[in-house]
Amino acid sequence: MMITTTRIYVRLFSRMKISTLVPVLLVLSLAFSCSNEDTTPDVPDEKVLVDATLVYSTSVAQIKALVQLAGINIDVNEFKHAVDVYKVSYKTVYKTQTVTASGLIALPKTSDELPMISFQHGTITRDTDAPSNSNLSNPESLVYACALSSSGFITTIPDYLGFGTSADLIHPYFVASLTASAVVDILYAARELAESKNVKFNSRLFLAGYSEGGYATMATHKAIEETEPEGFDLIASFPGAGAYDLSAMEEHLLGLQTYEDPYYLAYIGLAYQEAYDLPQLLHDFFQEPYTSRIPSLFDHQKGPGEINAQLTTTIPDLITPDLSVHIATDPAYAYLKDAFMSNTLTEWAPQKPMFMYHGQTDTTVPYENSVSTYNALIANGASEETVKLIPLPGTHSSAIAPYVADFITRLWTLR
């Protein structure tokens, strides 16, 4: 079986610049001729926005108060516009089929021409934590949407597939192509919504996100550079603390005796089994009783703590001994190595500025993962002026606040 990451490209062909489309089609035609796998999805209609519902309107004073209560250390004087926040549904593609995804889009109330930013959230397992389900009792996504928009940006926060309107799907956790396509398509939805509300988009685009959102941000940056979707000029991205080098992450985790968040491993295993139609994956990867237990743990209702409690933090008890020893050498596990490699983001050279952030004492996603990714990108030909690695004080959790403060400040200088 061939693990492919080409689904996103077919989805974007109708919106690519003609000068880019012709050579890409020639290359892909050669690639497809070597495979019997049908990876061509049904390309949806040009319009991707399905529905938009106004869920929150706020003034500048309210936004300043929200940001101050959230403890974000940024200059609140940059907030200059009242904001309308919409819960949206939009078309995207999952395993060759058109599906409906969801998220938040925030529009500033101004006649100015505006850039756009997409902010990708970190790992969630409960559907109630999806951005489109945010409310004043669960305001994190609303705070980001309002703050970024009030400072002069059309803002998108996608739920990703598997949450919100697509909660019937298994979330394709760390599947690069499906993650990037869900982000790109909400950008089109935002452009359509902005036009319908007489909000002007100037084509300048930024991307940001932390943890899984950092991975989603880098995957989307890579996809946009490769496909050049028409009407979007990517200026910079700000990925934080993502497991970009999945192959290195797999080797790291399998070499541990204990890991405090085993649900991450179970999440990826279930996602890859579903996204790539690999019914044997959980059996090959995990030991009983966890193999049989994992599918029911990701029911969109349990949080990470509840899931961890049904697993074990002892890696030799969680992972099958044969896989731990032979994953790199046994052909029976080649499909799994291929899946990790297909979703590792080290085999490219960014051309547009990318600011990578990571907490130096992070043990959830080790700081070294960003270091190895950065080194690989530079070795591939990326300029040190284009890609920058910014170390932060703190762990996976405590580095979030300095990440947000720094990326937003840099964002404002580039808008």
Residue 93 near residue 99 (C-beta atoms within 8 A): yes
What is the number of domains present in the chain?
2
Q: What is the CATH number of the domain that holds 279?
A: 1.10.260.160
Q: pTM surpassing 0.85?
A: yes
Q: Are residues 124 and 165 in the same domain?
A: yes
Residue 310 to residue 218: CA distance in whole angstroms: 31
Q: Are residues 276 and 334 in the same domain?
A: yes
Q: How confident is the model at residue 2 (pLDDT cuts 50, 70, 90)?
A: very low
Q: Domain residues for 105?
A: 49-245+347-414
Beta-ladder partners of 155? 106, 117
Query: Which whole number is the average pLDDT over 330-337?
Result: 95
Per-residue pLDDT at 69:
82
Residue 19 lies in a domain: no
Q: Are residues 191 and 54 in the same domain?
A: yes
Residue 73 lies in a domain: yes
Residue 391 near residue 360 (C-beta atoms within 8 A): yes
Q: Are residues 202 and 256 in the same domain?
A: no
pLDDT tens digits along 149-192? 999 999 999 999 999 999 999 999 999 999 999 999 999 999 99
Query: Which whole number is the average pLDDT over 212-230?
Result: 97
Residue 42 lies in a domain: no
Domain boundary among 300, 316, 342: 342
Per-residue pLDDT at 137:
64
Q: Are residues 126 and 156 in the same domain?
A: yes
Q: Are residues 132 and 157 in the same domain?
A: yes
The mean of the pLDDT values for the chain is: 90
Largest CA distance in the chain: 62
Residue 344 to residue 58: CA distance in whole angstroms: 40
Residue 208 lies in a domain: yes
pLDDT tens digits along 261-309? 999 999 999 999 999 999 999 999 999 999 999 999 999 999 999 999 9
Residue 348 to residue 266: CA distance in whole angstroms: 28
Hey, what amino acid is at 285? F
Q: Are residues 144 and 233 in the same domain?
A: yes
Per-residue pLDDT at 134:
85
Residue 27 lies in a domain: no
